[in-house]
Structure 1
């Protein structure tokens, strides 16, 4: 077994299943930990145990972390909605349902696979799995994404994101009728200790997160808002809107389920602005709402007119 590293810990006072406990200790998913346990990569007091092993709080645990297997990322002829392109950057209007870069369970059909077919000159700063990717949007979030075609562009765009000088506006349909016109949510976001696949507002192992929002329209039981990101944490808008009591419509992870016939959250990256990494010119782009969101909002308007 090729081992990249060995992680050992004294689990004093720990209780419950070992797979859940281990996933809470590091940036590991529970499914990943379960795979390691099944493969015999985890030892408790020198012996291999199953994922459902119940801890007593006196164990010494050793995790043999397997060496990461490098994925072969292949170009794929997938249509792209290219909003802008030059020798330094590409701006893509990503469709809902497309994963941005390959990962376990998504080695094909991603934006990166499509980009590799579209052009060969992508920045290599993020390695072979994420060439050119400066920032991400969730699989079921549609809209604008900037991609770097060389390292100069990548460094410039990444610095602009860090300096908070880019413009990123999202349109969201949320549950509930927000009573005020403007708001700012300033609440730290970190991984949910009870579910490693979810993020939450927490003071533990969190990062500062700020979202500004503006009400665009109200309907019975719903509000359309424009959200402006000051930071870019994982699932930030989805987590923040849920935190203030107005979760996104269609969001299977953070909102009420099956309230609309949508596959995933009603969230669209509508506006993207940044300084061109070579010329210094300010570039700004807009992408119209996808048909699914437009339809759901039109149905809300129709119900309002009929009532």
Structure 2
């Protein structure tokens, strides 16, 4: 894997770049230094020597890939550092144990193996019942940098949802989310939970069908956040029976539509967008003209 030193990194040492930009821990930095597997012009690099804009560094990273499974994959962006794919509804993001091999991460690993171009490392996740964009790192440096951006809320995500009932105007829901002690698989608004904020923008209303199409913007990214927050105001997502939504469809009407980020290795601003697929459209037609 190669990276090119950007003008904004000019004069920094590799130690500084790994620590401050990619957020690589002290132990991992020490192991890289001792392995002498970071090269410039074919020679091991001095980690404390200032680098110049345009320098190209070659890294030998020993990441452990998961089991690869062949399956169709809708890739929306890819380079040597990261991959953005459109997850179909009904597919898990990643395996919970090694015996699971039919998850999106397994499919991504098969895709990467075709060009020996990395390891499938999801930066965030989507529920199995949600479709849309997911960001994968292709190596450990990328995962560290992207995870730090996610933690600092520098990766923005927007979702489409169809809600039960007519929502009269835009809403911002700022309610903490915690575990539901009465149901192990469910979350709830809880004063002792984690801070969570969702912005809801009304796009269209169908008063005859009593549903509302909305776009949800996340400030935080808690498990089931949109599902919990919309349910808490009396407008659960259509099809989301876990949180009180009417079972008018064969799927939960929630789709991760947009992803915004600054690329950690090029600093270019990226906007990736994907419209809901045919299954969303066919399910929607069964109950609304939206």
Q: TM-score, normalised by structure 2?
A: 0.72
Matches within 5 A, 1:112-261: 112-120=105-113, 121-122=117-118, 131-180=120-169, 182-204=170-192, 206-220=193-207, 221-258=210-247, 260-261=248-249
SS, match of residue 144 in structure 2 = helix
Matches within 5 A, 1:1-307: 73-103=66-96, 107-120=100-113, 121-122=117-118, 131-180=120-169, 182-204=170-192, 206-220=193-207, 221-258=210-247, 260-263=248-251, 265-302=252-289
Change (3 A) 1:88 1:104: closer
Q: Distance in 2 between matches of 1:105 and 1:117?
A: 15
SS, match of residue 243 in structure 2 = coil
Cα drift, residue 133 of structure 1: 1.2
Cα drift, residue 293 of structure 1: 2.2
Cα drift, residue 122 of structure 1: 4.0
Cα drift, residue 108 of structure 1: 1.9
Q: Distance in 1 between matches of 2:99 and 2:161?
A: 26
Q: TM-score, normalised by structure 1?
A: 0.68
Kindly indicate whether the alpha-carbon contact (under 8 Å) linking 2:187 and 2:224 is maintained by their aligned counterparts in 1.
yes
Q: Which runs of 4+ in 1 moved over 2 A?
A: 120-123, 255-258, 295-302
Change (3 A) 1:172 1:87: same
Other-structure match for 1:54: none
Cα drift, residue 143 of structure 1: 0.2
Unaligned runs of 5+ in 2: 1-64
Cα drift, residue 292 of structure 1: 2.6
Kindly indicate whether the alpha-carbon contact (under 8 Å) linking 1:132 and 1:154 is maintained by their aligned counterparts in 2.
yes
Cα drift, residue 301 of structure 1: 4.7
Kindly indicate whether the alpha-carbon contact (under 8 Å) linking 2:85 and 2:134 is maintained by their aligned counterparts in 1.
yes
Cα drift, residue 257 of structure 1: 4.4
Q: Distance in 2 between matches of 1:87 and 1:104?
A: 27
Cα drift, residue 300 of structure 1: 4.6
